[in-house]
Amino acid sequence: MCAKQLVLKQRTKLLEALCCGGTAEPLDSVLDLLLSWDVLVWEDYHNVQGLNKPLYSKTRDLLDLVYTKGEEACSLLLAAFDHVLPEAQKAGLSFGKGNSRQTDIKKTPTSASEALLIDRPALVKKIPDHLDEVLEALKEAGCFTSQDYEGVLLQMYTRSQKVRKLLDQVRFRGEGAAKVLLQYLQHIDSKPQRVKEEKELSTEYLLYKEKLRRSVESQSKILSTYGETKSLFLDDIYTDGLLEVVQNDKKVTALGLQDLVGLLGTLNEEADTILVSGEAGIGKSTLLQRLHLLWARGTLLTDVHMLFPFSCRILNSEKKILSLKELLFQHCCWPDRGQDEIFQFILDYPHLVLFTFDGLDEFKHSFTDEERHCCPTQQAPVHTVLFNLLQGTLMKGVKKVVTSRPQAVGPSLKRYLRKEVLAKGFSPVGIKHFVKKHHNEITVATQVVESIKANTALFGLCHIPVFCWIISKCYKELLGCGEGSPQTVTDVYLMVLKHFLQKQVPQQHWTLGKGWLQEHLELSHFKQPIVNHNCLVHCMMPVADDCNVADSTNLQITSEFVAGLLSQRYRSLIEQCCPAVLLEKKSEKVMKCLSKAIQRHFKSIPPPVKGEKKSMHAMPGFVWLIKCIYEMQENEIAKGAVAKLEIEHLKLTYCNIGPVECTALAYVLRYLQNPIGLELDYNSVGDVGLEQLLPCLHICQALYLRNNNISDEGIRKLVEKGVHCECFVKLALFNNKLTDECTKYFACLLQKKKDFVALRLGNNKITSQGAEKLAEGLRYNKSLQYLGLWGNNIGDKGAEALADALKDSTTLTWLSLADNNVGSAGARALAELVKKSTTPLVLWLHPNCIERDGVECLIEALKVNSTVKEVWLRGNNLSAEERRDSHFKSGVRQLKSSKKLWMRG
C-alpha cells in the first residue's frame, strides 16, 4: 500500500496515537522532524500550530496538509510518527517502507537559519540544559529584548516548549540572531554543563540541602513495622530483594537498587516516572526507605541534590489546594530562609531533583490525565498536582519514583512511565539472610531457617518479605507448635493471632495448639468477636456476583483468609460468632461460589480453531480463585472445581506467579482429568516455585517456563520427578539461568523418556561441554522432534557432538543452533546430518560464523536430500565478494527459489 493510502486508512489511529497522551510533545516532535526534512515550510508550521487550537485539531490539520503534499511527504510523515511514538503506541500501525534514506541524509544548509531548522529535533533535546546561558548570550548580543527573554521562560511551557519558543523567536529575529545562536552552541559543545560550584551557591540553599538530608535520614532510619513498640533499625534488618525490569524486547533483566533511577530498562525516554510495582508486603515501601537513607548518607544517587519523599497515604489527608512549591516545602521540609531562591534552583536544575511517592494504590483518587496543570506556583487540588507531576506536565525533567501494587496502575498511567521495575521479594538466600539478621541468637536463627526449608509451601511463602517477617517474629509458635508447620496464608495469619493472644495470657498456657487458640478465642479476650459472621460470606460475594475482584487487592487478601477460616480445619475456631448450622451453610455457599467461578472461567473459552488445542488464557482473578481453594485445604473442593474441565492448554503468562501461586496451582490442577500444556512464561516461578509445581507434573503434557529465573538446581528436581511422569513430553525454558550443569539432567531425561518430543533451551548459558553432555542423552532418544538452543554458545565442538548424536534420528524436524558461535567445522558436521535426514527438517543456523566452505557443504547436502525442508543461514561470515561469485550464486539461486535455503546474497 502506498504511503498516501496508509495515512488515509489509518487516520483515526494515527490521530489517537499522537494525541492520546494529552500532551503536545509528540505532535511538536513530529513537526520538528517535518520542518527539518523540508516537508513543511515555516508558514505550514504556523498554520498547524494556530492560536489556541486544541491538540486534536492541530493534528488533523497536519494530516490534511501533508496528505495534499503527495506521496513522498506522506512517506516522511509516517517515518516521523515511527520515530516519535513510543513502542506501546505503535501497535496495530503500519509505517510503510518509510523513507529512511532521505531521513538519514542531511541537507547542507545555505544559511544559519536553515542550519537551525535542519538541526531543530536535536537542538530541542540539547538546549534545555543550557537555556539560561543561551538566552543571556542572545540578549547580550542585542538579538533578544527583555520581552523576548521572558516570553521564552513563561512557566506554562515545558522545557522543550521553551526551546521551541526560543528557536521560533530566533528565526523571527533573522539571520544575525541565528548566527549568534549557532556560534554559542558550538562554544557549548566544547565545555560540559556544570551546576554552579557549591561555593557559588547561597548559604540559604546549602543550609536547606543539609536540613533536607537530615530530615530524610531521620525519617528513614527506623523501619516502621506493624504495631511494634521496639525500634528496628533499617540497617540492622534490610535485606536485598529481587528487582527486575522488562526491556523492550521482552527480555527480563535483574536490577540493583543503584540501577533503579538509571537508564537500564528504560522504555520511554521522554517520560520521567519510574514505577516500582509489586504485591502486598513484597517490600516496596522498605525499598524506597532504603533508597532515601542511602541518598541522605551520600552513598547512593550522589548526583541528586534534593530528594523529596511523599507518602500517598498522607497526601490523602491534604484538603487544601496548594502549589507545587507549597507541597514540597510544607510536606517534606520547610526552608527557614530563601524559599524563592531554593525553589528557583529546583526549577533551574530539575535533573538534580528526585521526588518519591510511596503507595499510589493507597491514594484515594484514581489516576487520570484529563486535568492539565503545568505551573509550579499555581495552586490546585493535591491529586491534580500529583497526577501532573507523574505525567510530566508539571516539572518535566524531575525524576519521580512511585511505588504501587500492580492493580492500581492502569493503561492511562502506564503510557507516562519511563520504566517499570518489578519487586519480586526475597530469593532463597535472601530469606536465610533476613532470618539471620532478625535473630541475634545464631542457634535460633538456624532452627528457624531449617524449619522453613523443611516445609516447601512455607519456603514459598517466605519469599514475600512480610511473611518472612511474621514467621521470624512468631518463631516460638513455629518451632513449638506440634501440629505441623504452616502451609497456607490462613495458617500464618492464625499464627500471628496466637502470638498476640499469647502476650496477654500467663506463661502456663504456652502449649500452642489449635485447641489453645480456640480456647482463647472463646474466652473472648477481645470485647468483640474477631470475625463477624456477616462479613464472612460478604467477602466472598464478588466471586458469586462475578464482580471484578482483581481490582481490589485487599478484598482478595481478606477473602483468601475467609476461605481458610470457613474450611473444615478452622471452622471450630469461629463457632462462637455464628451457630454451627449457619456456619456449615455459609461454608457450603463459599465452596459453591469458588467452584462455579472456576467453571465460569472455563466456559468463557471460545471453541478451539480447527486443528488447535482448546486453550484457556486465565482472566484476572483466576489465580486468586485457585489460591482461595488452596486456603481451604480440602481435596474434594479442589477436585470438584477442576475435575470435569476439558481444556488442553492453560495459559498463565504475565500473571505474577511466584512460589506461593505455584503451590496453590499444583494443589488444584493435579485433579484435572486430562493432560494439559501449562504455560507459565514471564512469571517469577524460580527454583522454589518449580519444586512447588511438581505435584501437578503428572497432568502436564507440556510445561512452558520462559523467563522464570530457573537455575540448574530447579532442573535437577524437575527431571527427578519428570522421568516418572508418563505424559510429560515438552519443556520450554527459554531465557533462564541454566548452565552446562543442567545438561546432565536433560541427558538423563532424554535417555529415560523414550517419548520426549520437545526441548527448548534458548538464551541460556550452555557451552560446547553442555552440548556434548546433551548429545550423550540424544544418542539413546528416538522421539525428539524439536531441539532449541538459540542464543547459547555451543561453538563448533558442540555442533559436531549434536550432529553426530542426531544423525540417525527419524523424528527430528526442528533444530535451532542460531546465534551459537558455530563456524565451518560445525557446519560441515551438520551437513552430514542434513544429508542423512529422513524428516522434513528445519535447521536454523543464523547468525553464526560459518564461512564459505561450511556454507558450500550445507548447500551440497541440501541438493542431495530433498526431504529436508529449510536451512537458515543469514548473518554468517560470507564476504560480499564471495556472495557475488557466479559459481556460488548459481548453487544458491535454485535452493533459494524453492524456499529451502534462507540467506542473503
What is the closest distance, in whole angstroms, from the C-beta atom of residue 473 to ligand ATP in the complex? 9
| CA torsion angle 470 472 476 480 (round to 10) | 90
872's enclosing H/E stretch is strand 870-872
- Based on the shown chain and the rule CB under 6 A, indicate whether residue 552 belongs to the binding site for ligand ATP: no
Q: Which residue is nearest to ligand ATP (CB)?
A: 283
| Rounded-to-integer distance, Cα 889 and Cα 822, Å | 23
Find the part of the chain contacting ligand ATP (CB under 6 A) among 236-244, 307-315, 568-576, 727-735.
Answer: 236-244
For position 161 contacting ligand ATP by CB under 6 A, the verdict is: no
Q: What whole-number distance in Å separates Cα of residue 270 and Cα of residue 902?
A: 39
CB closer to ligand ATP, 166 vs 623:
623
CB of 28 to ligand ATP, least distance (A): 38
Compute the least distance from the CB of residue 283 to ligand ATP, in Å: 3
- Phi, psi (5° rounding) for residue 512? -100, 60
Residue 471 Cβ, how far from ligand ATP at the closest point, in Å?
11
> Is the Cβ–Cβ distance between 468 and 495 less than 8 Å?
no
Q: How far is the CB of 256 from ligand ATP (least distance, A)?
A: 13
Which of 238, 756 has the CB closer to ligand ATP? 238
* Contact residue for ligand ATP among 325, 373, 405, 900 (CB under 6 A): 405
Residues 6+ apart with CB under 8 A from 489: 461, 467, 560, 561, 564, 627, 631, 660
- The three-point CA angle 881-886-889 to 5° equals 85
CB 56 within 8 A of CB 19: yes
Residue 301 neighbours by CB under 8 Å, 6+ apart: 261, 291, 294, 295, 307, 354
Site for ligand ATP in 202-231 (CB under 6 A): 223, 225
Do 831 and 863 touch, CB atoms closer than 8 A?
Answer: no
Pick 7 or 466: Cβ nearer ligand ATP: 466
- As measured in angstroms, the least distance from the Cβ of 465 to ligand ATP is 3
What is the maximal distance between C-alpha atoms in the chain? 96
Site string for ligand ATP, 118-147 (x = CB under 6 A): ------------------------------
Q: Which of 144, 238, 308, 704 binds ligand ATP (CB under 6 A)?
A: 238
CB of residue 470 to ligand ATP, shortest distance in Å:
9
Identity of the residue, 306 or 408, whose beta carbon is nearer to ligand ATP in the bound complex? 408
CB nearer to ligand ATP: pick between 213 and 405: 405
Count of residues for the chain?
A: 905
Contacting range for ligand ATP; rule: CB under 6 A; set: 331-339, 345-353, 461-469, 834-842: 461-469
The interface with ligand ATP within residues 249-308 (CB under 6 A) comprises: 278, 280-286
**Which lies closer to ligand ATP via its Cβ, residue 688 or residue 742?**
688
- Grid cell, residue 51, equals 492560536
Quick one: cell of 32? 520538528
Residue 238: CB minimum distance to ligand ATP, A: 5
673 neighbors 698 (Cβ within 8 angstroms):
no
Q: Measured from the CB atom, is 466 or 566 closer to ligand ATP? A: 466
734 binds ligand ATP (CB under 6 A): no
CB 178 within 8 A of CB 115: yes
Angle at 253 between CA 252 and CA 259, to 5 degrees: 140
* Element counts in the chain: helices (H) and strands (E): 45, 20
Q: Which CB, 461 or 858, lies closer to ligand ATP?
A: 461
Min CB(234)–ligand ATP separation in Å: 8
The verdict on 241 binding ligand ATP (CB under 6 A) reads yes
Contacting ligand ATP within 336-365 (CB under 6 A): 359
Specify the residue, 185 or 471, whose C-beta has the smaller distance to ligand ATP: 471
Name the region of 628 (left: φ>0; alpha: ψ -120 to 50; beta: rest): alpha
Of these, 239, 488, 556, 821, which contacts ligand ATP (CB under 6 A)? 239
Residue 322 or 435 with smaller CB distance to ligand ATP: 435
C-alpha cell at 756: 520426549
Segment contacting ligand ATP (CB under 6 A): 99-107, 235-243, 448-456, 563-571?
235-243
The string of DSSP letters for 451-511 reads HHHH-HHHHHHTTSHHHHHHHHHTHHHHHH--S----SHHHHHHHHHHHHHHHHS-GGG--
Q: How far is the CB of 225 from ligand ATP (least distance, A)?
A: 4
Looking at residue 646, its amino acid is E
User: What grid cell was written down for 260?
Assistant: 533503579
Q: Which of 684, 671, 677, 675 is nearest to 638 (CA)?
A: 671
Q: To the nearest whole angstrom, how small is the minimum distance from the Cβ of residue 381 to ligand ATP? A: 24
Binding to ligand ATP by residue 465, rule CB under 6 A? yes
In the complex, minimum distance from the CB of residue 243 to ligand ATP, in angstroms, rounded to a whole number: 10
| Binding status of residue 309 toward ligand ATP by CB under 6 A | no
Smallest gap from Cβ 282 to ligand ATP, in A, equals 4
Nearer to ligand ATP, 241 or 265 (CB): 241
Of residues 476 through 515, those in contact with ligand ATP by CB under 6 A are: none
| DSSP codes joined into one string, 722-756 | HTT-TT--EEE--SS--BGGGHHHHHHHHHH-TT-
Does 434 sit near ligand ATP (CB under 6 A)? yes
- Chain residues 50-79 in contact with ligand ATP, contact rule CB under 6 A: none
Q: Which of 466, 537, 573, 831 binds ligand ATP (CB under 6 A)?
A: 466
Give the residue with the Cβ less far from ligand ATP, 473 or 698.
473
The whole-angstrom distance between residue 349's C-alpha and the CA centroid of its chain comes to 29
User: 567 — alpha (psi -120 to 50), left (phi > 0) or beta?
Assistant: beta
Alpha-helical (H) ranges within 85-127 are: 87-90, 100-104, 112-118, 120-126
User: Of the listed pieces 462-470, 595-603, 719-727, 819-827, which binds ligand ATP according to CB under 6 A?
Assistant: 462-470
Nearer to ligand ATP, 228 or 336 (CB): 228
- DSSP letters, 50-87, are TTT--HHHHHHHHHHHHHHT-HHHHHHHHHHHHHHS-H
Q: Lay out the site mask for ligand ATP across 358-397 (x = CB under 6 A, - = otherwise).
A: -x--------------------------------------
Shortest reach from residue 424's CB to ligand ATP, in Å: 11
User: Which of 467, 671 has the CB closer to ligand ATP?
Assistant: 467
Q: What's the burial of 739, exposed, middle or buried (CB within 10 Å: 0-12/13-18/19+)?
A: middle
Q: Closest separation between CB of residue 706 and ligand ATP, Å? A: 26
CA angle 350, 353, 358 (to 5 degrees): 125
Stretch that binds ligand ATP, among 95-103, 463-471, 528-536, 612-620 (CB under 6 A): 463-471
According to CB under 6 A, which residues from 81 to 110 bind ligand ATP?
none
Listed ranges 6-14, 72-80, 233-241, 412-420: which one lies at the site for ligand ATP (CB under 6 A): 233-241
Closer residue to ligand ATP in complex, CB, 144/426: 426
**Of the candidates 487, 630, 619, the residue with the CA atom closest to the CA atom of residue 559:** 630
Examine residue 237 and tell whether it contacts ligand ATP (CB under 6 A): yes
With respect to ligand ATP, which residue has the nearer C-beta, 281 or 791? 281
3-state SS class at 253: strand
Question: In this structure, is the dihedral angle defined by the CA atoms of residues 439, 442, 445 and 449, taken in order, positive or negative?
Answer: positive
Could you list the residues that contact ligand ATP (CB under 6 A)? 223, 225, 237-239, 241, 278, 280-286, 359, 405, 434, 465-466, 469
